Copies of this chain bind each other. A is one copy, B any other.
Amino acid sequence: MPLFACSPPSPPPPPNRSLSVRSKKDGQSDRGSTKSGPAKHRFTMASLRGMQQPDLSKKLYKLIKTESHCISAYEAAGRERASIASQLSDWGEATNDDTISEISDKLGVLLAEIAEQEDLFCQSLEDSRSVLKQIRNTESSVQPSRDQKAKIADEIAKLKYKEPTSTKIITLEQELVRAEAQSLVAEAQLTNITRQKFKEAYDIHFAGTIERAEKQIMLAKQARRLLNLVDDTPIVPGDTHPTFDQYEAARQVLNDAEEQLRDWRPNNEPINSNAGSLGAGAMPSTSGASGASVTGSGGSIAFAGQEYSATRAYTTEQEGQQQTIEGAHPAYRKDSPERSVRDESSVA
């Protein structure tokens, strides 16, 4: 009897399961296209702290943890690259070859900028990660309301079997209706936050990926211009390469690279969001919605097609308690015109 209003009415199976990275539960091997071969054995948990997370947020908790490892790895790569940049310049100086000395030094500058871009990328990943945390936090705060509902339903079932005439059943059934009302709100909050923050997190993630890539392309192309200033015509013993006379050209490459970086602007297709109307308490803000709303201590809440207030809720609970046990909560399970009305208003 899942009350979670968003659970899909048995969705059609995705058209092609080979286009999925979902872990196969039957131990089938993963996507054949990755060349990683047999996966190394790794502990599934990096820390036992994950075990204290409620079931609902465990998967996302782990993902956020892995994302943190990933960011650390990129940070390390950026540090190493910055270090390579200055080592390259030092090596070039030590060759006593004016061409190699000059070009390696300028190349070092570009490599250091490329390393800097890895760092900025880490910042984007970190921003994306902290948005995912908002989903995770909502998930863990929704867990108790699910648990509470299940616990009360369980008690009622036990009691009905052992003492079918107990008056405690009626009290418990009232409690269950209240728990279900709370749970409906929690689940709506969860789905609202999940969809909005999911889009937001990966918007940031991929915008960061594109920014790093576009900037590194500019830098790498300028670096290739620098390389072309090195004359690698072989010499015979006793001969020398002509004196390097491309200082200006090399300098110009850096100037051009700087200018390009300064002029760079993001140019992505926007991610569209309708979540702008998501108000306090992770509920739609009520302007233009046909459903009535109450301002309670938890913020303004609109229920689908229902006038809903604390008083009315309790009344409804008592009227509907019998049905509640058998089926959905009468206050919220009615099909309502709410969605279509709101959709129209958001189009207008």
Q: Are A247 and B59 in contact (CB under 8 A)?
A: no
A179 interface contact, C-beta 8 A: no
List chain B residues, Cβ under 8 A from A51: none
Q: Are A268 and B221 in contact (CB under 8 A)?
A: yes
List chain B residues, Cβ under 8 A from A241: 6, 191, 195
- Give the size of the chain A interface in residues (CB under 8 angstroms): 150
A5 to B234, CA, bound (A): 13
A227-B203, A284-B234, A303-B237 known; A77+B70 contact, CB < 8 A: yes
A12 to B240, CA, bound (A): 17
A126 interface contact, C-beta 8 A: no
A343 interface contact, C-beta 8 A: yes
Partner of A59, one of B80, B91, B213: B91
Whole-angstrom distance between the Cβ of A245 and the nearest chain B Cβ: 9
In A2-17, the 8 Å CB interface with B consists of 2, 4-9, 11-12, 14-16
Question: What per-residue 1/0 map shows which CB atoms of A319-348 lie under 8 Å from chain B?
Answer: 000000000010111101011001100100
Whole-angstrom distance between the Cβ of A205 and the nearest chain B Cβ: 8
Whole-angstrom distance between the Cβ of A185 and the nearest chain B Cβ: 5
In A83-138, the 8 Å CB interface with B consists of 83-91, 93-109, 111-112, 114, 116, 119
A206 interface contact, C-beta 8 A: yes
Q: Interface segment, A60-68, A147-155, A170-178?
A: A60-68
Q: Are A304 and B236 in contact (CB under 8 A)?
A: yes
List chain B residues, Cβ under 8 A from A96: 2, 4, 6-8
A318 interface contact, C-beta 8 A: no
Q: Are A232 and B274 in contact (CB under 8 A)?
A: yes
A141 interface contact, C-beta 8 A: no
A19-B251, A109-B21 known; A224+B238 contact, CB < 8 A: no
Q: Are B6 and A231 in contact (CB under 8 A)?
A: no
Q: Are B227 and A271 in contact (CB under 8 A)?
A: yes
A314 interface contact, C-beta 8 A: no
A269 to B232, CA, bound (A): 17
A96-B7, A220-B209 known; A238+B303 contact, CB < 8 A: yes
Partner of A343, one of B7, B98, B233: B233
List chain B residues, Cβ under 8 A from A339: 235, 239-240, 242
Q: Which residue of B has the minimal Cβ distance to A196?
A: B232
List chain B residues, Cβ under 8 A from A213: 212-214, 216-217, 220
A156 interface contact, C-beta 8 A: no
A34-B82, A192-B234, A220-B213 known; A8+B98 contact, CB < 8 A: yes
Partner of A84, one of B8, B70, B302: B70
Whole-angstrom distance between the Cβ of A122 and the nearest chain B Cβ: 10
Known: A21-B108, A62-B87. 14 other contacts (CB 8 A): A73-B73, A76-B76, A100-B195, A195-B232, A199-B230, A206-B227, A213-B220, A227-B271, A231-B274, A233-B274, A233-B275, A235-B339, A236-B291, A238-B332
Which 10 interchain pairs have the tightest Cβ spacing?
Answer: A238-B332, A70-B80, A213-B213, A8-B98, A73-B77, A11-B98, A233-B274, A21-B108, A195-B232, A234-B284
